[in-house]
Amino acid sequence: MGKLADMLDAVSRLTASLVRWLALAMVLVQFAIVVGRYVFGFNSIAAQESVLYMHSTLFMLGAAYTLLVDKHVRVDVFYAAWDEEGKRRLNVFGHLVLLFPSMLVLLYWSWPSVASSWRILEGPISVGGIKAVFLLKTLIPAFCILLMLQSLSLLIRLTLVRDET
């Protein structure tokens, strides 16, 4: 089971290693947009939308890695004071009762929109924008699947820790 968890972690690490470069690209493109607009009087809707696409991709595909390295948002009011067993139980509860069901619901309710978008190869958000909204919408199920895979990995590890004690 540990090898399966390692493989699932590798998916999150690989995805993060690919999308992290979008942060730099986003800054460079946004800088070019500002310089183009205010120095040269040039504006590009597609360039502006590209920042939106990169930002969306970075956060949607990087979420699983954030969960892997335990940097996600957590309300630590009670959690910080709990012993390891209490934290483990709360984490198992969170994965099974909160994360998995919410990702399944999001996947279920977003799928018709994503499928429809692919069917018509949905065009740009704005006139002159990027003709790939269908790709942008695909980030939603990708986000759900990657997060559930990472959650499964963490559940395996939480179970392995339980079995070792």
Residue 78 has pLDDT above 90, yes or no: no
In this structure, which long-range contacts are made by residues 51-56, counting pairs with CB atoms below 8 Å and at least 24 apart in sequence? 51/26, 52/125, 52/136, 53/130, 53/132, 53/135, 53/136, 54/22, 54/25, 54/26, 54/29, 55/22, 55/26, 56/136, 56/139
Residue 40 has pLDDT above 90, yes or no: yes
Average pLDDT of span 12-36: 96
Average pLDDT of span 8-24: 96
Rounded Cα distance, 41 and 98, in Å: 49
Average pLDDT of span 104-112: 98
Which two three-digit tokens encode residue 22?
A: 């979008």
pTM of the entire predicted model: 0.89
Question: Of 157, 141, 147, nearest to 100 (Cα)?
Answer: 147
Residue 113 has pLDDT above 90, yes or no: yes
pLDDT band at residue 133, thresholds of 50, 70 and 90? very high
